[in-house]
Structure 1
Amino acid sequence: MLTIYGVYRSRASRTYWLAGELGLPFVSVPVIQARRVDDPQAAGAPLNTQSPDFLAVNPTGLVPCIDDGGFVMTESLAINLYLARKHGGPLAGRTLTEEAEMLQWTFWAATEVEPHAVKIVLAHDARAAESEAGRLAIRAANKALKKAFRRLDDHLAATGHVVGDRFTVADLNLAEIFRYAMSQKDLFDAAPNVKAWLENCQARPAFRAMMEKRLSEPE
């Protein structure tokens, strides 16, 4: 039985979505981020990323983490690639070339998109978007993301998918990263293929089921 550690309001959302796409039964252990707890070490504190019980599973103190029949793994994007590869089906690579492309696009999004997109989320979460510093941070992130949006927009023009001619784990991984920039309407308006692709990804039943649970959790 697969165990997924992490609340839905974390990068664990990526793995919960993938498990839904694959139809995998799993146990969810809702480990909350320590930064969201007043005193992570206090007696009676909710299970969090600094809790000894969780650190015994994942010493890095990060979510998500999975235990797949005794195999413990961290890093959400890598977890998703592993689960897709293990369980096969249309979400997995059909050839070595497709697997390589899935790795390439996932690494690209993690290094070229996520660092900038996360700054947008953090500015909004901290309610800093209305301050001068917040506006400057978002403006800089937007500028840095334009090239990435153009590249993906051009790539999606052929089939509407990241790899091959179908929805795969590569689409899922990238969609969860590009979701961080959704507040920036101008970026998506300038990249209509990216906009349509993300809407299609988020229309999938497994995404909607994951998001329903995410939104039901306290902020």
Structure 2
Amino acid sequence: MLKIHGVTRSRASRIIWLCHEIGIGFEQIPVIQAYRLSDPDAADAPLNTRSPQFMALSPASAIPVIEDGPLVLRESMACNLYLARKYGQPYGPADAPEDALMMQWSFYAATSIEPDALTLLYVYGPGKALSSGEKASVENAAERLKRPLAVVDEHLSGQNYMVGGRFTVADINMAEVLRYAQCYDPLMEQFPAMNAWLTECQIRPAFQKMWKTRLAEPE
């Protein structure tokens, strides 16, 4: 059985969402991020990213990691693209061009959107009082995101999904990155096509199943 190492409050969420869409059974090993623990090296610390048994799988000390038989695979985007290819249609590529496009949008999300989107997630909160430095950080991140989000919005203005006219792993990978910026309405409301698509992604039963599990975990 497929094993997913990582709590759902991590990038493991995108793998779990895909598994629910496809209907893949999996065992989840709830490895928690070391930075969330007061003493991750304590003898009674829960399994975490600095635990020796986990670092044997992930020398970078990062979740998620999947095990699929003898294959140990790190990096959530790589994990999702692998699983989509293995299990095929409708969530994976039908041919080489679709495969390339799914990689293109996944890498675009990871490189052009995720870093600044994470700044919004970690620094901004509706109603939260921000210091002048935090406010500048949020405003700068939002400004940098305008160009890549405009690219996504324009793409989705003419079609319902990222690739192939159907819901695929490319939608999951992009939606899970954009979720980080979703808290910042002044930015997101500028991109109506992207927002409508993101809402449709997040009302899918597989996303809701993953989200319920995520909310049940400690913050």
> Per the shorter chain, which TM-score range?
over 0.9
Q: CA deviation at 1:128?
A: 7.5
Q: Tell me, in whole angstroms, the C-alpha distance in 2 between the residues paired with 1:128 and 1:84.
A: 39
| Structure 1 contact 31–49 (Cα < 8 Å) conserved | yes
Do the aligned partners of 1:123 and 1:129 also contact (CA within 8 Å) in 2? Answer: no
Point out the more displaced range, 101-110 or 25-34. 101-110
Residue 87 (structure 1) aligns with: 87
Confirm whether residue 97 of structure 1 aligns to residue 97 of structure 2: yes
1:105-120 maps to which residues of 2 (within 5 A)?
105-120=105-120
Cα deviation 1:72-117 (Å, max 9, x = unaligned): 0000011000000001121111121111001111111111100110
Q: Distance in 1 between matches of 2:121 and 2:154?
A: 25
Give the Å deviation of 1:129.
5.7
How many residue pairs match? The answer is 218
Residue in 1 aligned with 2:207?
207
Task: After TM superposition, give the deviation of residue 28 of structure 1 in Å.
Answer: 0.4
Instruction: Give the aligned partner of residue 196 of structure 1.
Output: 196
Pair 174,6 (structure 1): closer, same or farther in 2 beyond 3 Å: same
Match of 2:171 in 1: 171
Paired AA for residue 108 in structure 2: W
Greater than 3 Å deviation, 4+ residue runs:
none
What's 1:24 paired with? 24
> What's the counterpart of residue 71 of structure 1?
71
**Backbone CA RMSD of aligned residues:** 1.3
Residue ranges of structure 2 left out of the alignment (5+ in a row)? none
| TM-score for both structures, normalised by structure 1 | 0.96
SS in 2 for 1:32: coil
Aligned to 1:195, what secondary structure does the other structure show? helix
Structure 2 partner of 1:2: 2
Q: What's the % identity of the aligned pairs?
A: 48
Using the alignment, how far apart are the partners of 1:162 and 1:208 within structure 2?
20
8 Å contact from structure 1 (residues 12, 76) kept in 2: yes
Q: SS state of the match for residue 28, structure 1?
A: strand
**Is 1:160–2:169 an aligned residue pair?**
no
Q: AA paired with 1:26?
A: F
- The answer to whether the 8 A contact 1:128-1:134 is kept is no
Q: TM-score, normalised by structure 2?
A: 0.96
SS of residue in 2 equivalent to 1:4: strand
Residue in structure 1 matched with residue 38 of structure 2 by the alignment: 38
CA distance in 2, matches of 1:124, 1:13: 21
Q: Distance in 1 between matches of 2:142 and 2:23?
A: 36
